[in-house]
Amino acid sequence: MLIVTGSVTARTDTFEALLEAALAHVARSRTEPGCLIHSVHVDCEDPMRLFFYEEWADRPALDAHFAVPGSGEFMAAVRELAQASTRVRILPVEARV
């Protein structure tokens, strides 16, 4: 399993548009094969910052997610609407039973 995290900080004038794009991206991503969890949260210390938390079954599922046109469209929206963003972190997690 892989855990993916990242964040984007909106400008005051773009927050609503960025949140709308993020929610649409999350809803679409949740339907993709191998997506276990995909969520976006507003940072309670910085209300302009959106934090993403994802869990994917494996690297092929995550790579397929990155290849979906909607993922590219979302990243284009982030570049247009965000004031700043963090690097996406991909962390492998060993599942224990």
Beta bridge partners of 35: 56
Q: Cβ(78)–Cβ(85) under 8 Å?
A: yes
Query: pLDDT, tens digit, for every residue of 58-80?
Result: 999 999 999 999 999 999 999 99
pLDDT digits (tens, 9 = 90+) for 3-41: 999 999 999 999 999 999 999 999 999 999 999 999 999
What tokens does 7 get? 């964040």
Domains of the chain in sequence order: 2-92 (3.30.70.100)
Distances (CA, A) of 83 to 20, 34, 77: 16, 31, 12
Query: Which amino acid is residue 76, in one-letter code?
Result: A
Its pTM stands at 0.92
Q: Give the pair of three-digit tokens for residue 38.
A: 């995909």
Contact 83, 9 (CB under 8 A): yes
